[in-house]
Amino acid sequence: MSKDELVIRLVEAETRHAEFVATVESLARDGSRWAIPDLGEKPTEEWLGKIVAYAKAHTDDFSYMDLAEYGVDLETAEKLWREC
C-alpha cells in the first residue's frame, strides 16, 4: 500500500469516528431524529484527485457519499461527483 493510500484510509477512519461521535452527541442532546453531520473538509486539488481515484477504484457504485466517507465536505463531494 502506498503512502497516499495509507493517508486516505487514515482520514476515512478518522472521519467515520468523528461522524459517530457527532451523531451520538446529537442523539444525547436532541433525542432521536434524522441527522447526518457534515464534518468534512475541502482538501487541496492534489489530494482531491487522489481521493477521487482511490474512491472510484474501491467501490462498485461510485457516488458523492463515497468521497464524503474519505473526509471531503458534502458540497465539494457532490460537485466532484457530478464532474466525473
Kindly list the domain boundaries of the chain, sorted by start residue: 3-83
Q: Does this model's pTM top 0.75?
A: no
The reported pLDDT for the residue numbered 79 is 92
Q: What is the pLDDT of residues 40-53, one digit of tens each?
A: 788 899 999 999 99
Three-state SS string across 15-82, please? HHHHHHHHHHHHHHHHCCCCCCCCCCECCCHHHHHHHHHHHHHCCCCCCHHHHHHCCECHHHHHHHHH
